[in-house]
Structure 1
Amino acid sequence: MLTMAIVILLLLMCATIPVAVTLIILAFVLGYFYSDFPFYLAAGEVLWTNSENYTLIAIPLFVLIGEILVRCGSARKAYSIMDAWLSWLPGGLIHANIGASVLFSATSGSSVATAATISTIALPEGRRLGYSEGIFSGAVAAGGTLGILIPPSISLIIYGIFTETSIPKLFAAGVIPGLLLAALFCFVTIVCSVIKPSISGQRAKYNWKTRIVGLFSLMPLFLLFFVVVGSIYAGLATPTEAAAIGVLAAVGIAAAGRSFSIAMFTDAVLGSLRTTAMIMLIVLASYFLNFVLSTLGINEQIEALFSGMNLSALETLLLVFCIYIVLGMFIETLSLMVITLPVLAPIVFAQGFDKVWFGVVVIILIEMALITPPVGLNLYVVQGVRKRGSIMDIVVGALPYVLAMFVLLYILVIYPQVALYLPNKV
């Protein structure tokens, strides 16, 4: 039964059937062949019960924050300021890709949105200044992955819902690893630039006055971050309430910058509706699939398979890493998380690993999936904006940043407190 489930899942994925539809089809096929119970009779109850989760409301609100900030020009302003502060480093403008991704991630919560926004701004500028498009585009794709690690993160919210883990603690856990990963990305850029100076192009020169004034213009973004995240940690708001406050703050930023209009807000709402519909359909379909798998006993089969291997805690963790890395090459990131968490998370928790810590680790593994072929979503997003050359240029350019993610995973395994220090203070 387990083998049949895996085969059906891969066949449907290869047939490019939408992920949510794939999960529903898999659930019904398994139910038809292995159970006398008509699962379709329970579908409505399962979907409705899980869609009532109050925390899920935070997802469309965080998406809307990102959509508003994209349309009001905040992302472009953040990029130019990061260029002023970071372009003196070896690698020049490439560091601005990473720095701007950090800033936008702290307000967006979506990797795809971060990659799409920063690539739209960065690629024309990099092309104009003569940067090597491979590593330049690879840095944009890699920087976009920070969107699901640095809070607020939609993926961390979904992880918290599926594993019943505190979302404020997950947000706190993502801060230090997210900033550390950004620093590793910058270090990788410096190393690549020293080894091969030709990847860098011309560098704009800025005086200190321009840099300081630029920091003041970023104050609205910093304020938005502290309003959203600070209200959660101060106990003034739940993540959902903080997201609603964040929407109001984003509207205020747009209005203060004289870029708010009914047409702009309507476009932002429609964009967030499209994104939210996709996310929620996948999440609810995975809930139904997990209901079927649990009823048929497949989850227990997988747990028995792991138990029968007699692996140590570290060996179990490394095997889970390998599963995520391999599956991440073929399955879209959100789908990968919602498919695997109900099965693999209990196995990892049974070995004594911390739920919050594992949440950060899972996000980093999923980040790898965003920039590893053949289904690295950020690679295709950046290539779609680039509109020329081969996507293999971006794949090769992103590889050094994949190595940086492996380094961060090693650090987290050896020093779990890197992720747990802030949550333990909350």
Structure 2
Amino acid sequence: MVFLLIVAVLLVLVFMSIPVASVLGLLTMWLDQAYTDGRMSLTFGGFIWDASTQFILISVPLFILLGEIVLRAGLAEKMYMAVSKWLSWLPGGLMHANIGSSAIFAATSGSSVATAATIGTVAYPEIGKRGYKESLFLGSIAAGGTLGVLIPPSVVLIVYGVLTQTSIPELYLAGILPGLLLVVLFSLVIIVACLINPSYSGQKQSSTWAEKMTVLLDLVRPLILFMGVVGSIYAGIATPTEAASFGVVFALGLAWWEKKLTVPMLLACFENTVKTTAMIMLIIFAAMLLNVVIGYMGVIQSATEFIKTLNLTSLETLMILVVFYLILGMFMETFSMMLTTIGLVFPLMTSLGFDPVWFGIVLTILMEIALITPPIGVNLFVVQGIRKNGGAFNDVCVGAIPFVLMMLLLIVLVTIFPEIILWLPNKFY
């Protein structure tokens, strides 16, 4: 079957460590030559031009630049200390600050790796000072970083929306409640673990109301940035691209206020933005061309008909897909995993009656899981990299397991109660 052959070739090329954009390009050219004698390649220029001139794509480098500025503006440490003042009374102490500050930082940067690296650098010294269980503490940092994929503004949701022609404002709305619920589930697993074994909690901290109110401004600024960016989209004041532009200007203002706005800082932001954007765009365009070719070949229609002959229910198909992504996520980088499979999986799932917005959030949660599943979980390596004592990588992996279980629980919850995802989009659209 052509569908299975394409999937097999994709996986083999990826496991050979060939860059993802090259994998998609090579597969596209091979399929074009094998099935259309190269005729489709004559149309590639037009497809790439149409794709590259979409106004919404401008938001990708803008949101990346926004995250770079926030990262270098020195807001993370102040924000972390502010969250710790408000949440450290809970069983688990600063581990809740890891989750809470990650959620806030994710809402301004949109990057999981940046979130894990930034919060981890600030939080790590507290392990020794407060006597925390290192594996669980590190696991909370790695898991908190994944929130950057789900909580808007998320670059992953933008790319999903572009590739599947799904409304990005609806996707952003859909990600809010599952994102907040995941924060609660993460905190819940920390509380349960610390109640079972109080030694995990570390030394208890207490803060007066005066101290809490003093640091409130450090929480308000990133929340204003989040509300300005995301709120302007939902209010109909700005498109995602215009909202991203506002976010960049506001972030520059925050950097200036913190006296971090310098020419070297801006050059570093611009350089990283260009590198990341070039990588993402190359993969996006290669994925689009592959989707065009397999669509022309009728692969998706054949795969859909084959699935129907198996007499599987929609739920059984979803379960198989979840297992497929769990296994794939152990060996592939998150963004690459989504882009190499979305052209095959999305039409199949929507043909079975799954809502495109709902499926986009479920797919994003699966991307989150891949970030903290060994041996290729990117956030695990990021957190391991900030450890000064060079401890065993296994510590981080073990500490992340309870949070992976919470993400799987979230998938179960949104499957049983799809309104967790769809309520806000349906309310506004």
Picking from 398, 410, 413, the partner of 2:400 is: 398
1:193-272 aligned within 5 A = 193-272=194-273
Question: Could you tell me which amino acid in structure 1 is paired with residue 414 of structure 2?
Answer: L
The aligned runs of 1:258-337 (5 Å cut-off) are: 258-337=259-338
Question: Displacement of 1:39 after TM fit?
Answer: 5.0
- Aligned pairs for 1:179-190 within 5 A: 179-190=180-191
Tell me the equivalent position of 1:70.
Answer: 71
Residue 40 of structure 1 and its aligned partner are, at CA, apart by 4.5
- The answer for the alignment partner of 2:57 in structure 1 is 56
Alignment of 1:421 onto 2:423 = yes
Q: Which amino acid aligns with 1:163?
A: T
**TM-score, with structure 1 as normaliser:** 0.95
User: What secondary structure, in the 3-state scheme, does the structure 2 residue paired with 1:386 have?
Assistant: coil
Q: Which moved more, 1:277-286 or 1:394-403?
A: 277-286
Partner amino acid, structure 1, of 2:327: V
Q: What percent of counterpart residues are identical?
A: 49
Partner Cα separation in structure 2 for residue 26 and residue 104 of structure 1: 38
What's the offset of the Cα at 1:169?
Answer: 1.2
SS at match of 2:215: helix
SS at match of 1:88: coil
Amino acid at match of 1:161: V
Separation in structure 2 between the aligned mates of residue 6 and residue 262 of structure 1, nearest angstrom: 46
- Pairing 1:28–2:29 present: yes
2:87 matches 1:86: yes
Quote the residue 1:161 is aligned against: 162
- What CA distance in whole angstroms lies between the structure 1 residues aligned with 2:32 and 2:4? 15
Name structure 2 gaps, 5 residues minimum.
none
Q: CA deviation at 1:281?
A: 1.7
**Structure 1 unmatched ranges of 5 or more:** none
Instruction: Tell me what 2:98 maps to.
Output: 97
- The amino acid that maps onto 1:230 is G
Task: State the Cα distance separating 1:46 from its structure 2 match.
Answer: 2.9
Whole-Å Cα distance in 1 between the matches of residues 121 and 277 of structure 2?
Answer: 22
Q: After superposition, give the CA deviation of every residue in 1:20-39 in whole Å (9 maximum; x if it has no partner).
A: 12221222233334441255
Whether the 8 Å CA contact 1:168–1:232 is kept in 2: the answer is yes
Q: Name the Cα RMSD after superposition.
A: 1.7
In the alignment, what sits opposite 1:407? 409
TM-score normalised according to structure 2 size: 0.95
The whole-number CA distance in structure 2 between the counterparts of 1:257 and 1:46 is 44
How many Å separate the matches in 2 of 1:168 and 1:375? Answer: 31
Match for residue 176 of structure 1? 177
8 Å Cα contact 2:10-2:340 kept in structure 1: no
- Aligned pairs for 1:343-422 within 5 A: 343-386=344-387, 388-422=390-424
Q: Is the Cα–Cα contact under 8 Å of residues 116 and 142 in structure 2 kept in the other structure?
A: yes
Q: Is the 8 Å Cα contact of residues 152 and 171 (structure 1) preserved in structure 2? A: yes
Q: How far apart, CA to CA, are the structure 2 residues paired with 1:26 and 1:384?
A: 34
Question: Which letter does structure 2 place at the counterpart of 1:184?
Answer: L
413-422 or 299-308, larger mean C-alpha shift: 299-308
1:182-235 residue CA offsets vs partner (Å, 9 max, x unmatched): 000000011111222333323443221111111123222111111111111111
Amino acid at match of 2:346: A
Q: Is the 8 A contact 2:332 2:376 kept in 1?
A: yes
Deviation at 1:86, TM superposition (A): 1.2
- Is contact 2:44–2:289 with CA below 8 Å preserved after alignment? yes
8 A contact 1:173–1:419 mirrored in 2: yes
- Tell me how far apart the structure 1 counterparts of residues 11 and 314 of structure 2 sit (CA, whole Å): 29
Check whether the contact 1:57–1:240 (CA below 8 A) recurs between aligned residues: yes
Moved more, 37-46 or 156-165: 37-46
Separation (CA, whole Å) in 2 of partners of 1:130 and 1:39 = 62
Residues 108-160 of structure 1, C-alpha deviations (whole Å, 9 max, x = no match)? 11112211211121122323333222111111111111111111111111111
Equivalent residue letter for 2:382: V
Name the CA distance, whole Å, in 1 between partners of 2:330 and 2:17.
15
Instruction: Kindly tell me the number of residue pairs found equivalent between the two proteins.
Output: 426
Shift of 1:56: 1.0
SS at match of 1:218: helix
Contact 2:65 2:270 in 1 (8 A): yes
Quote how far apart the aligned CAs of 1:41 are: 4.0
